[in-house]
Amino acid sequence: MSSFDHTKYRPFEPVAIANRTWPDQEITKAPIWASVDLRDGNQALVEPMTVEQKKEFFKLLVDVGFKEIEVGFPAASQLDFDFVRWLIEEDQVPNDVYIQVLTQARPELIERTYESLKGAKKAVVHVYNSTSKTQREQVFRLGKDGIKDIAVRGAQCVKDHAAKHPETEWVFQYSPESFTGTETDFAVEVCDAVIDVWQPTPEKKCIINLPATVEVATPNRFADQIEYFCRKVKNRDSIIISLHTHNDRGCGVAAAELGMMAGADRIEGTLLGNGERTGNMCVVTMAMNMYSQGIDPELNFADMDRVISVVQSCTQLPVHPRHAYAGELVFTAFSGSHQDAIKKCLANQTDDKPWDVAYLPIDPRDIGRSYQEVIRVNSQSGKGGVAFALEQEYGLALPRWLQVELSPIVQKLSEEDGGVIEAADMKRLFEENFMTSSAPYALGNYELSKKDRDTVTAELSHKDGVISVHGEGNGALSAFTSALSAHFNVRVDIVQYQEHALTVGSDSQAIAYIQANIDGERYNGVAIDNDIVSASIQAVLATVNQKVIASEQANVA
Ligand SMILES: CC(=O)SCCNC(=O)CCNC(=O)[C@H](O)C(C)(C)COP(=O)(O)OP(=O)(O)OC[C@H]1O[C@@H](n2cnc3c(N)ncnc32)[C@H](O)[C@@H]1OP(=O)(O)O
Ligand SMILES: CC(C)C(=O)C(=O)O
């Protein structure tokens, strides 16, 4: 029995704002970032973090570059209290980092909060109460004045305790919790009242944090609320407007971005988006979005794998393989046309040019990923992907005509196996099909001489013994080709030829790729040798060997 019925819901009532300006704004610099991993992230976990996990997470946040870190709700749990004490007593907080703690606007909780902060060098005391209509009416059962009174008394209490500890550099933060569900004029009224208590100045600002505690509308509506609030709130030059968005509609990052365009200075969020319900907005995504636009995000995600590893081990939550920027598969292309485009663009990309690679919004190497994982080959892949993998892994720069020949062979295997084909398997198929210069005939000693024309005399060993072949031509390859033509009584024409030095493995080796037409059919041969002439003639021999095998099989049939 489903109760699925959209008529029981009401649409969001947007704030009436005239001449909004945020749609024309651009994000041009990083916000003040504040991590709430150790508080909002932590309060949403099945198993909240242990002190040891919080320590490891805190170190990561500092290393990434956060200067404001909400470390817990010390009045709520002994564990959070102890963690704050450890940070202070063990001098774990760098001089330029503010630790932030959250408390309800209740005197006994505020008092306990200050106890936890004794001796801190710098701290943000974050006090909140809900201002939304729903909570006013159903949770607090108070009118607007009663709610404003909780905020004002909380703000006063915060200020009074701070005055007793002038050795700490205090910053006050107030959140009208459930801001998105609050009439914006009322949110302004409550925040103005708090500002009246704190009396911030441009030199000593306070933080007003506007949370989308629950995301209830499209991000443009949130941006309207922020622009409206910024226009109306008093002493705008003395407050830092902070945003704290959640992801209930899947738009936490978008809301924060549009909110910044609408005037916000500071952004709260978590690494990889852990948090209540569908999570807080993901700082990694928002920072990397800036990075991909050429803006310094002032957070460093060069070691993304460490971020993932610490977040996963502390939260016990997996990171989705398609998570923006961080997921295991986000830089991987399986489909043929994407692989082809990526391979071509990467070949053009140099360090002195702006990044311009199809399907890759950022260079995976920037966050510690390699190009190896960019292209993975399965049954959806094409020749570009196979060629890319062989070049990346083994330095084999297959000519296009050979890519065309190898691709269906790999495709067949991936269809049979049903999954990803590793580079080692592609190399095996490549060797089995084209590097066929050792059987049934293998090159032994050979002698080249040049008079009017080039001549070659070569020994070919076979399971039944050694034979000698002799030929002439314009160049060693042509002479060897005519020697084989004469001996095997076939017509051999070289259709394609390419060679290059091998850059992976031994740097003194060369590889030759040959396509030959033998009695009207095309064969592809490849050989590697220290000497390029030797590699070339072995590549021709590889094609003739394939023809010999094909003829023997035809005779048997
Ligand atoms: C959106 C957010 O994420 S806000 C942060 C939420 N995080 C947490 O709550 C995690 C930590 N909290 C806790 O462990 C507990 O809530 C504690 C220990 C802080 C307090 O516990 P309790 O004293 O049992 O109170 P409880 O949290 O149930 O709060 C309910 C009471 O506080 C009042 N209250 C709730 N929030 C606030 C607030 N921000 N300011 C003032 N009063 C508040 C409620 O109206 C209610 O009052 P009532 O008892 O008179 O009906
Ligand atoms: C305390 C506030 C900022 C909060 O966590 C929320 O509203 O989500």
Task: For 200-258, give the secondary structure using H, E and C.
Answer: CCCCCCEEEEEEECCCCCCHHHHHHHHHHHHHHCCCHHHEEEEEEEECCCCCHHHHHHH
Residues 293 and 382 in one domain: no
Q: What is the pLDDT of residue 1?
A: 74
Report how far residue 144's alpha carbon sits from residue 512's, in angstroms, rounded to the nearest whole number. Answer: 83
* Residue 213 CB–ligand 1 contact under 6 Å: yes
Structural Rg of the chain based on CA atoms: 34
- From 128, 172, 194, 222, the mutation candidate for ligand 2 (largest count of ligand atoms within 8 A of CB) is 128
Its domain, for residue 454, covers: 442-556
3-state SS assignment for residue 304: helix
Residues 213 and 303 in one domain: yes
Bind-site residues:
40, 244, 246, 280
Q: In this structure, which ligand is nearest to the CA of 34?
A: 2
Residues 231 and 350 in one domain: no
Atom 16, ligand 1: residue with shortest CA distance = 76
Residues 311 and 344 in one domain: no
Cα–Cα distance list, 48 to 43, 72, 282 (Å): 7, 11, 19
Contact 524, 545 (CB under 8 A): no
Q: In this structure, which ligand is nearest to the CA of 129?
A: 1
Q: Is residue 4 in a domain?
A: no
Atom 6, ligand 2: residue with shortest CA distance = 213
Atom 7, ligand 1: residue with shortest CA distance = 43
CA 390 to ligand 2 centroid distance, Å = 51
Q: What is the pLDDT of residue 451?
A: 85
The 10 Å CB-count burial string (b at 16+, else e) for 334-343 is bebebbbbbb
Residues 53 and 147 in one domain: yes
First to last CA, the chain: 67
Residues 405 and 470 in one domain: no
Cα–Cα distance list, 474 to 68, 90, 479, 519, 546 (Å): 75, 81, 7, 21, 24
Q: What share of the chain is helix, strand, coil (3-state, %, to 5)?
A: 45, 20, 35
Q: What is the pLDDT of residue 375?
A: 86
Q: Is residue 10 in a domain?
A: no
Cα–Cα distance list, 316 to 4, 35, 79, 169, 310 (Å): 32, 18, 18, 35, 10
Tokens of 120: 């801190």
Report how far residue 168's alpha carbon sits from residue 183's, in angstroms, rounded to the nearest whole number. Answer: 36
Among 416, 434, 452, residue at a domain's last position: 434
Q: What is the pLDDT of residue 505?
A: 62
Bind-site residues for Mg(2+):
40, 244, 246, 280
Q: Is residue 23 in a domain?
A: no
Residues 417 and 533 in one domain: no
Residues 47 and 127 in one domain: yes
Q: Is residue 12 in a domain?
A: no
Report how far residue 55's alpha carbon sits from residue 59's, in angstroms, rounded to the nearest whole number. Answer: 6
Residues 163 and 39 in one domain: yes
Residue partners of 66: CB distance under 8 A and separation at least 6: 33, 34, 35, 97, 299
Report how far residue 156's alpha carbon sits from residue 140's, in angstroms, rounded to the nearest whole number. Answer: 20
Q: Which atom of ligand 2 is nearest to the CA of 268?
A: 3
Tokens of 69: 């870190």
Q: What is the pLDDT of residue 508?
A: 81
Q: Is residue 402 in a domain?
A: yes
Tokens of 423: 């580079």
Q: Is residue 9 in a domain?
A: no
Q: What is the pLDDT of residue 126?
A: 99
Among 393, 408, 434, residue at a domain's last position: 434
Residues 401 and 453 in one domain: no
Atom 49, ligand 1: residue with shortest CA distance = 140
CA 260 to ligand 1 centroid distance, Å = 30
pTM, two decimals, is 0.87
Q: Which residue has the tokens 């994000």?
A: 27
Single out the residue of 308, 258, 263, 307 nearest to residue 281, CA to CA.
258
* Residue 177 CB–ligand 2 contact under 6 Å: yes
DSSP designation for 327: S
Residue ranges in the chain modelled with pLDDT below 50: none
Q: In this structure, which ligand is nearest to the CA of 280?
A: 2
Atom 7, ligand 2: residue with shortest CA distance = 213
Residues 138 and 104 in one domain: yes
Q: What is the pLDDT of residue 469?
A: 97
* Residue 73 CB–ligand 1 contact under 6 Å: yes
Report how far residue 311's alpha carbon sits from residue 519's, in angstroms, rounded to the nearest whole number. Answer: 63
**Total tally of structural domains belonging to the chain:** 3
| DSSP-assigned letters across all residues of 104-121 | ES-HHHHHHHHHHTTT-S
Q: What is the pLDDT of residue 517?
A: 94
ipTM for the complex shown: 0.97
Among 286, 315, 344, residue at a domain's last position: 315
Report how far residue 246's alpha carbon sits from residue 280's, in angstroms, rounded to the nearest whole number. Answer: 4
CA 117 to ligand 1 centroid distance, Å = 20
Q: Is residue 289 in a domain?
A: yes
The 10 Å CB-count burial string (b at 16+, else e) for 349-368 is eeeeeeeebeebebbbeebe
Residues 290 and 381 in one domain: no
* Residue 76 CB–ligand 1 contact under 6 Å: yes
Tokens of 445: 């000693």
Look up the CATH number of the domain holding residue 235.
3.20.20.70
Report how far residue 483's alpha carbon sits from residue 322's, in angstroms, rounded to the nearest whole number. Answer: 57
Q: Which residue has the tokens 């709520």?
A: 76
CA 212 to ligand 2 centroid distance, Å = 8
Q: In this structure, which ligand is nearest to the CA of 105?
A: 1
* Residue 455 CB–ligand 2 contact under 6 Å: no
Q: What is the pLDDT of residue 504?
A: 66
Q: Is residue 222 in a domain?
A: yes
Atom 19, ligand 1: residue with shortest CA distance = 76
3-state SS assignment for residue 170: strand
Q: What is the pLDDT of residue 379?
A: 86
DSSP designation for 263: T
3-state SS assignment for residue 267: strand
Contact 240, 267 (CB under 8 A): no
Look up the CATH number of the domain holding residue 522.
3.30.160.270
Q: What is the pLDDT of residue 506?
A: 58
Atom 21, ligand 1: residue with shortest CA distance = 76
The dihedral through the CA atoms of 158, 164, 165, 166 has a sign that is: positive
- From 109, 131, 244, the mutation candidate for ligand 2 (largest count of ligand atoms within 8 A of CB) is 244
CA 128 to ligand 1 centroid distance, Å = 10
